[in-house]
Amino acid sequence: MTMRWCAFMAALLFTAMAGPTSAQDRDGHATPTCSDLQTNPAWGLAGNPSITGLTAVVVPASGPNLTYCRVDFTDVTLAGPKFGYLPGQTSKFRIRVGLPLNVNDGGAGGVQGAWNGNIQTLGNGGFAGGVSGVTSATNTGYVGTGTDTGHNSSITNPVPNPNPPPLTVEAPPSENGAVFALNPDGTINYGRIMDYGWRGQHHANMWGRQIAKIYYGQRHRMNYYIGCSDGGREGHEMSQRFGRDFDGIVAMSPAIHWDRWGFSGGWGNYVAHQELGQNGLDSPKFQDVNQRALAACDGIDGIVDGMIQETRRCHYDANDAVCGQPGASTDPTRCLTRAEAAVVNKYVFAVFRFEAVLNVERFQRGFGAVFLRGAAAQSTARQYSVAI
């Protein structure tokens, strides 16, 4: 890690040593304007072989957002099989660094310009693939960093699947979802996975600290990370791998135990695909059976509050919702077939059995997510049909 950090610093600072040319800050350090970062190689970004697609522009204030300097580029620092990629591949972290205006650009009220002296690296959600916004940081005086973690969910990039699902359920091949993790021959690209896992956010934070030092002419005071869901997971990664880099980490609702959680997340769709030829239940049917489970078990915990807290004692059977059963819905769009009821029961109970073998995460009765039939479910099912 030290060697990588040194290489990163050397690549960035080599060109910066040529000597700045712009205004000075109040401590006498020469500092650039925002646009200088894009145009003048002396500041270490323009012409740097470690990055492509560099832009640095002052974004005017708009709505609730204050004006700030936005630096965007793609980090291609890592290359080849040494970093888990295919030969010829590089990292492609799209990175955004948002900087409250420095004194050269008219910023005021902070330790240098409008900057409060601190950094916030901002986490992603889901499978990432888009650059996190930074205005939540810049609006409060922080330098903010965002990244797509090394894959672009808007890219259409056909990935042949050696065991493809039927065309009727095939999601458009792209880098959306988890497909970024596959090579064209269906094997795993560990480099892209590590980028998503932790390298993307690590690089974003390194660039944020370094660009702040260049733009303001002084080192940051505090370095923070904040994220939720996948961003919470990334926060744990930052804590475990780079804890000494940070002064504070907010890791909310972390989507951790990804291998177990992810498996169970796709399990319902996988079962439905295998047994019904579709990727879940239609929404009215799932809502009906879910409400029946809730009605049967809500009160077991002693509080009728719309939640099943005592899931261990809930033994609801979805056959209760089969069309024609006493009390079942008479609406054919809401009541279940026997096969659909079996899938619902497998969705809950089979995961429990698998839990003992694969240690997958437990879904609790009454849990209603990721089982609806639709585009998102199809995408999920495809990913796990690949994984399984």
- Token pair of 234, please? 């990334």
Closer Cβ to Ca ion, 301 or 355, answer by number: 301
Question: How do strand 248-252 and strand 222-228 relate by DSSP bridges?
Answer: parallel
Closer Cβ to Ca ion, 28 or 306, answer by number: 306
- Token pair of 147, please? 């990244």
Least distance CB 303 / Ca ion (angstroms): 5
Closer Cβ to Ca ion, 275 or 305, answer by number: 305
- Residue holding tokens 């936005």? 70
Closer Cβ to Ca ion, 301 or 317, answer by number: 301
Least distance CB 198 / Ca ion (angstroms): 38
Calculate the alpha carbon distances from 333 to 278, 281, 322 in Å. Answer: 16, 10, 11
Closer Cβ to Ca ion, 105 or 298, answer by number: 298
User: How many whole angstroms separate alpha carbon 129 and alpha carbon 95?
Assistant: 11
Closer Cβ to Ca ion, 81 or 299, answer by number: 299
- Token pair of 66, please? 């204050």
* Helices (H), ranges, the chain: 2-16, 34-39, 135-138, 190-194, 200-216, 230-242, 258-276, 283-297, 338-358, 375-387
Closer Cβ to Ca ion, 301 or 361, answer by number: 301
Least distance CB 286 / Ca ion (angstroms): 20
User: In 10 A of CB 27, how many CB atoms?
Assistant: 10
Backbone φ and ψ for 113, nearest 5 degrees, come out as: 60, -135
Closer Cβ to Ca ion, 66 or 307, answer by number: 307
- Token pair of 124, please? 């992603």
Angle formed at CA 357 by CA 354 and CA 360, multiple of 5 degrees: 55
User: How many whole angstroms separate alpha carbon 136 and alpha carbon 66?
Assistant: 10
Least distance CB 267 / Ca ion (angstroms): 25
* Helices (H), ranges, 247-337: 258-276, 283-297
Least distance CB 296 / Ca ion (angstroms): 11
Least distance CB 316 / Ca ion (angstroms): 13
Q: Decide: 358 and 263 in contact? Cβ < 8 Å.
A: yes
Least distance CB 291 / Ca ion (angstroms): 14
Closer Cβ to Ca ion, 11 or 300, answer by number: 300
User: How many whole angstroms separate alpha carbon 326 and alpha carbon 94?
Assistant: 57
Cα distance from N-terminal residue to C-terminal residue, the chain: 33
Sites of contact with Ca ion (CB under 5 A)? 298, 301, 303, 305, 307
Least distance CB 345 / Ca ion (angstroms): 21
User: How many whole angstroms separate alpha carbon 386 and alpha carbon 367?
Assistant: 25
Least distance CB 302 / Ca ion (angstroms): 7
Q: Decide: 153 and 174 in contact? Cβ < 8 Å.
A: yes
